[in-house]
Amino acid sequence: MTVYVDEGFRPCVTECATVAFRVYCDERAQIFEVSADALVAYCGAASKRKQDLLVAFEGAQLDILSVAASRWTVRPTEPVRLDLDAFRTVLH
């Protein structure tokens, strides 16, 4: 199963302090949102500022993709939120 971040859909910080991004898996797309808390706790974000969240997202893409792959759904129209519990389950 090939899972990768869609480079044509740039990750962005949403108004609810998550980083939204699109992932492809076997030619199917799914939107995910990583919470700021998860980016600080598991991905090394220095703070919850927009730039720090984006830098941490870029640096931790492999871990984030592992978590995203474990939370893949069959409802591609609804974003999947990756919070602290999702990271805790997959990375520990």
Overall average pLDDT of the 7-17 stretch:
87
pTM over 0.85: no
Report residue 60: phi and psi, to 5°. -115, 25
Determine the Cα–Cα distance for residues 19 and 27; give it in Å rounded to an integer.
Answer: 22
Domains of the chain and any CATH numbers: 3-91 (3.30.160.140)
**pLDDT tens string 40-88:** 999 999 999 999 999 999 999 999 999 988 888 766 667 888 888 888 8
